[in-house]
Structure 1
Amino acid sequence: MCVALVAVVASVSGLNVAQQALAADLDASQSQLLWIINGYTLALAALLMPVGAIGDRWGRKPVLMVGLVGFSLTNLASSFATEPNVLIALRVLAGVSAAMVMPVTLSVITTSFPREEQAKAIGTWAGFAGAGGIIGLFASAAIIDNATWPWVFALPIALAAVSFTLTAAFVPHSVEHTEAGFDIAGSLLSVLAVGGLVLAFHEGPERGWTDALTLAALAAGLLGTLAFVLVELRRDHPLVDVRVFALRGLAAGSVNLFVVFAVMFSLFLVLVQYLQAVLGYSALRAASGLLPMAAIMMPLSTIAPTIAERMGFRRTLVMGMLLLAGGLVLFAALADPTGGYMSVFPAILVLGAGVGLAMSPSTAAITSSLPEEKQGVASALNDTVREMGGAVGIALIGSVLNSAYRSNIEPIAGSLPPQVAKPVASGIGSALAVAGQMGADGKAVVAASRQAFVDGMTPALYLGAAVALAAAIFTALRGPKTAAEAEPRLHLSDHSEMAGAEVHNTVTAPIDADGG
């Protein structure tokens, strides 16, 4: 399952390092480049909920295998694309296939592993979900440094092929048996709600928050969300019983997971730019700078459920959020244009610890709040929270960073000729490109733009820290105290679970712990 998960998550971040090569080879505009990246995540996020429900009803294994085949074929076709619009369409189709893979990887774990092993398995899954983005960045950067951009698609294809083989051999067939009809209205409204909001947060920082497309997407997302809640409250068999959000475990898990991915995805954006534009690292060296975070995050995520059992769910999540907030403040304090990587290394380790400690207990709380026959939907809900958090975090933190940079660079840009001032004020990447053409005069522009970026990071990172601190306070006040309260399904006795089940979930074979 973790192999398939990494293939999907790595595809979110992998193409970021190939943007320059795509622009040159395909003659893609900046808008087209953004859609090559965002088209995938938009389709993935929008379809998670209905596809998760389809997996519950039609069988998780067949949906996963069809998704892996579609994912491989669309990535293979993408490597032969010669037009940017063709690549955009293929990336959207890859996102559709990824939506068939991502929620099922978790629901297979929560329905097939023995209950006493599920917490550890969920922790491992969460660790790979968090580190997959870093793995994608690193592998893609290594490929770009040594080959052409189409080879970036080789990684997800290879991972999907391995996962398909392991799934066919080891993953059991599991399916929900129910006479209730499929919630078509809820499914369509969930696509509108999530798709509209993700599109708005993707387009807002680029087009502006008053742009017609941004406002239309935001309105569609908000109205879709309202309609979804109203429709689901009236249905006997809803896609998601929205009343479950009143459960303290689900509420705390969702808030913390949203914040973790908002901070983590925006941190990737800030840290990679800091390492490349400020410290002058190559794409591969910059991606390597994130590996220590993954090295801390993955093992800690695996043992975090055990820590939550012993210390308490509330204490574990609060500690994770406080580490996250502290790491962001520490990063803001240590970052310096002349300080080098080691100056921010302690902050990177603290941030990895915070993410690892908070991520897997939050995931377990979300999936455990819904019954076994709804684990596809529960997993999709978990993944939707992640994707929404990432989109909001990048939009919010990125907007603050860009605004602060423009404000800081204005005194320098105002003294430059108009044809130079505009790119210098637009962003540090453009500023460095223009400075490289100015000869000796460009050195002052380089120094000023780097300092303006570092100074602009401070309010952006402080904002992220404030959000993490707010999540810690919310969890301290409203979060369940123990893991048993937060994860009711994992702590039920076999007898009570069987007595309370109205719908049976059939698993036809035992699962191998190493399979898939």
Structure 2
Amino acid sequence: MYLSAVLVDLASWRWLFVLPVALVVVAVGMTLRSVPNSREESEHGFDTIGSLLSVIAVIALIFVLHEGPGRGWTAPVTLLSLLVGVIAAICFVAWELRRRAPLLDVRLFRERGLASGSVAILAFFGVQAGVFVVVFPYFQAVLGWSGLNSTLALMPMALLMMFASGLAPRVAARIGGRSTMASGILLGGAGLALMATLVSVDGGYLAVLPGMLAMGLGMGLTMTPSTEAITTALPRARQGVASALNDVTREFGTALGIALLGAVLSAGYRSAIDSRLDGVPADAADTAREGITNALAAADESGSQALIRAAQESFVDGWQQAMWAGVAVMAVLFVYVLARGPQRTPSGTPTTEAGPTSDAISR
């Protein structure tokens, strides 16, 4: 992230697409040199159909979340994408239930700890990614900061998240995994509410810092017991499945969060700026509706300070709507974890719905 910010500030954003290629080349070279050659034989072939169905379902559903606010939730393309996504998801589940060696054994989600841990990671990583989509343009377009300064501004949140992640196992040992996860979710939701309530064009960094700190603390308290709930739900022989599921939920949640909160932000911005474009030339107004970066570029060309202010205030309006959408997600997640989170016996031994499990710590 920091290297990307340096590239944007000192070179061009196009270098961001060169950086992954360079890292891949280095990784391939290190792999060929250092990783021993090995091969694992399997009596089952790769689940190609399941893989394709999952890709179709994910792409279609993310498209709905990303394009729905802009195109309209009842637009033909939105409804068609939703239909395709739902059908593909249903077919994926049905196919996986029939396979002897499924790509993802959906029966695993009957395990209470695994299901609640996966949902918590999915939702929290989604909200976190959505927050990043919102906060970076605020630092750069509203506060006028460089890419590197904007990235460094996230350091307090990251440090507190690391601290809370180390603290979470001890908290979970005292009050249980479910209570720890719920506490983190509550803090995360409170952080989002603070960012929605306090943010303003003139408030600056200190207006959003309390919410970022609460969000970081909440993430740290939630992520560790959620990951532990997934890994301890399966025996040692299936830890590869647990690790893969943990990674997939993170990545899928990130994609969903960017699509959802980014779309809410964009829709809120466009709705808010329309009422602030009186007296702005038609060409500049059309450009401003496309986003705050375009609005600032149009303002530089026309020399309109009013357009800059209108774009910044409209972005803050969109920010608030995105943050409240995140609060709604956290509220639903909080209720779900309280109702279906990992259980723990009064004596301190965690259990699943089927009974106590000796190798579980905090499910």
TM range (shorter): 0.7 to 0.9
**How far is the alpha carbon of 1:421 from its aligned partner?**
1.6
User: What is the CA–CA distance in structure 2 between the aligned matches of 1:156 and 1:331, rounded to whole Å?
Assistant: 36
Map 1:91-490; keep pairs closer than 5 Å. 136=1, 138-148=2-12, 149-150=14-15, 153-154=18-19, 157=22, 161=26, 179-180=43-44, 182-202=46-66, 217-439=81-303, 442-482=304-344, 484-485=350-351
> Alpha carbons of 1:267 and 1:340: their partners in 2 closer, same or farther (altered >3 Å)?
same
Deviation string for 1:236-279 (max 9, x for gaps)?
33332212212211221122111101110110011111111111
Amino acid at match of 2:335: I
Deviation string for 1:15-38 (max 9, x for gaps)?
xxxxxxxxxxxxxxxxxxxxxxxx
Calculate the TM-score normalised by the size of structure 1. Answer: 0.61
> Alpha carbons of 1:270 and 1:493: their partners in 2 closer, same or farther (altered >3 Å)?
closer
User: What is the CA–CA distance in structure 2 between the aligned matches of 1:198 and 1:372, rounded to whole Å?
Assistant: 33
SS in 2 for 1:437: helix
User: What is the CA–CA distance in structure 2 between the aligned matches of 1:237 and 1:147, rounded to whole Å?
Assistant: 48
**How far is the alpha carbon of 1:292 from its aligned partner?**
1.5
**How far is the alpha carbon of 1:231 from its aligned partner?**
1.7
User: What is the CA–CA distance in structure 2 between the aligned matches of 1:222 and 1:492, rounded to whole Å?
Assistant: 38
Q: Is the 1:334–1:343 Cα contact (8 Å) retained in structure 2?
A: yes
**How far is the alpha carbon of 1:225 from its aligned partner?**
1.1
Calculate the TM-score normalised by the size of structure 2. Answer: 0.84
> Alpha carbons of 1:370 and 1:218: their partners in 2 closer, same or farther (altered >3 Å)?
farther
User: What is the CA–CA distance in structure 2 between the aligned matches of 1:284 and 1:327, rounded to whole Å?
Assistant: 23
User: What is the CA–CA distance in structure 1 between the aligned matches of 2:166 and 2:46, rounded to whole Å?
Assistant: 35
User: What is the CA–CA distance in structure 1 between the aligned matches of 2:16 and 2:260, rounded to whole Å?
Assistant: 32
**How far is the alpha carbon of 1:173 from its aligned partner?**
9.6
SS in 2 for 1:485: strand
Amino acid at match of 2:87: L
User: What is the CA–CA distance in structure 2 between the aligned matches of 1:337 and 1:262, rounded to whole Å?
Assistant: 25
Amino acid at match of 1:379: S
**How far is the alpha carbon of 1:216 from its aligned partner?**
5.0
User: What is the CA–CA distance in structure 2 between the aligned matches of 1:310 and 1:436, rounded to whole Å?
Assistant: 57
Q: Is the 1:365–1:487 Cα contact (8 Å) retained in structure 2?
A: no
> Alpha carbons of 1:252 and 1:493: their partners in 2 closer, same or farther (altered >3 Å)?
closer
> Alpha carbons of 1:302 and 1:241: their partners in 2 closer, same or farther (altered >3 Å)?
same
Deviation string for 1:350-405 (max 9, x for gaps)?
11111111112212222333343433333232222222222222222222222222
Q: Is the 2:232–2:359 Cα contact (8 Å) retained in structure 1?
A: no
SS in 2 for 1:386: helix
User: What is the CA–CA distance in structure 1 between the aligned matches of 2:190 and 2:235, rounded to whole Å?
Assistant: 36
Deviation string for 1:301-322 (max 9, x for gaps)?
2342332222201101100100
Q: Is the 2:201–2:316 Cα contact (8 Å) retained in structure 1?
A: yes
> Alpha carbons of 1:301 and 1:210: their partners in 2 closer, same or farther (altered >3 Å)?
same
Unaligned residue ranges in structure 2 (runs of 5+)? none
Greater shift, 283-292 or 190-199, is seen at 190-199
User: What is the CA–CA distance in structure 1 between the aligned matches of 2:193 and 2:129, rounded to whole Å?
Assistant: 17
Q: Is the 2:121–2:250 Cα contact (8 Å) retained in structure 1?
A: yes
Deviation string for 1:445-474 (max 9, x for gaps)?
212221222123222211211210211111
Greater shift, 389-398 or 337-346, is seen at 389-398
> Alpha carbons of 1:493 and 1:345: their partners in 2 closer, same or farther (altered >3 Å)?
closer
Q: Is the 1:200–1:214 Cα contact (8 Å) retained in structure 2?
A: yes
Deviation string for 1:13-61 (max 9, x for gaps)?
xxxxxxxxxxxxxxxxxxxxxxxxxxxxxxxxxxxxxxxxxxxxxxxxx
Map 1:489-500; keep pairs closer than 5 Å. 492=358
Match of 1:72 in 2: none
Deviation string for 1:322-344 (max 9, x for gaps)?
01100011111221211221222
Q: Is the 1:202–1:391 Cα contact (8 Å) retained in structure 2?
A: no
Greater shift, 201-210 or 429-438, is seen at 201-210
- Which structure's residues are more often helix, by fraction? 1
Amino acid at match of 1:449: A
User: What is the CA–CA distance in structure 2 between the aligned matches of 1:295 and 1:258, rounded to whole Å?
Assistant: 22
Q: How much is the aligned-residue C-alpha RMSD, in angstroms?
A: 3.3
Q: Is the 1:307–1:316 Cα contact (8 Å) retained in structure 2?
A: yes
Q: Is the 1:176–1:373 Cα contact (8 Å) retained in structure 2?
A: no
Amino acid at match of 1:474: Y
Q: Percent identity?
A: 43
Deviation string for 1:150-192 (max 9, x for gaps)?
37744774598479859986x8999877645544433333333
**How far is the alpha carbon of 1:217 from its aligned partner?**
4.5
Amino acid at match of 2:351: E
Unaligned residue ranges in structure 1 (runs of 5+)? 1-135, 495-516
